[in-house]
Amino acid sequence: MRSQSLVLLCFILGIPGTFGQSKKEMPKVVLAGDSIRLGYAPLVAKMLAGKAIVVSAEENGGDSGNVLSHLDGWIVREKPDIVHWNAGLHDLKISKQTRTHQVELPQYAANLRQIVERIRKETSATLIFASTTPILDEWHARRKADFDRLESNVQRYNQAALQVMKDADITVNDLHWVVEKAGSATLMTEDGTHYSPEGFKQLAEAVIMRAATLRAPGRVNWSSCGSPGICLYPRTSITTRSFTPGCWRFSVDCLAA
């Protein structure tokens, strides 16, 4: 299975040793998640055109309970080779009337565990979980919506999600770190949640590069990626792998010639 995944990602990313694939034979990558995923999905599809079939549901994935209830239609029936997914931004919403979260933390973790279990049981896909991206509290508050979001809760929910993924040995794509490293205020729009075209471009690049380094480390030409300091994910004791190579400022030149 591990060797098959390596070959699969070589097909997707044009790493040396690959060869042309017909559309029928191209690997299928399913992207699932909320409006952040909706923003970067078209860019991922464009970047992987001719190398992979990228599937992204038109609907906003919403919270983890909604993703769980739509697994058949959005993921399982697609028979994917890779699933890159997230839930969190809707779960951590705080109602201004009740002051409760849309999905409280224990239920959020339970939902994530069920999602992982079902995808593993009902598909043969390689799973990548994306951490929830940052919130700029003051900017978000200016939306005057009937709910709040707070960066402190983003971090709490991400910690819970990371623990679930660690326990299940699921690889994590730390998109929260990607945004923070680049500068949240420089990439986000005035609602404090969503992204500018440049922001979504960087997220799309991070999605692709995380898949590239998942099974094929050593195939990246770091000298083409700019400063080595921005080509490495941070060390963390909770993620599945304590050190994850990956260039978040991805370009096709980062791939070995």
Residue of higher predicted confidence among 5 and 88: 88
Give the CATH class of 2-254.
Answer: alpha beta
pLDDT at 27: 85
> Do the beta carbons of residue 247 and residue 231 sit within 8 Å?
yes
Calculate what percentage of the chain has a pLDDT beyond 70: 73
**Averaged pLDDT of the chain:** 79
Q: Where do the structural domains in the chain lie, given as residue ranges?
A: 2-254
Q: What are phi and psi of 179, to 5 degrees?
A: -65, -45
pLDDT at 20: 46
Record the pTM: 0.79
> Do the beta carbons of residue 120 and residue 164 sit within 8 Å?
no
pLDDT at 24: 60
pLDDT tens sequence across 23-63:
667 889 999 999 999 999 999 999 999 888 999 999 999 99
Residue 150 has pLDDT above 60, yes or no: yes
Is the dihedral angle over the CA atoms 10, 14, 20, 25 positive or is it negative?
Answer: positive
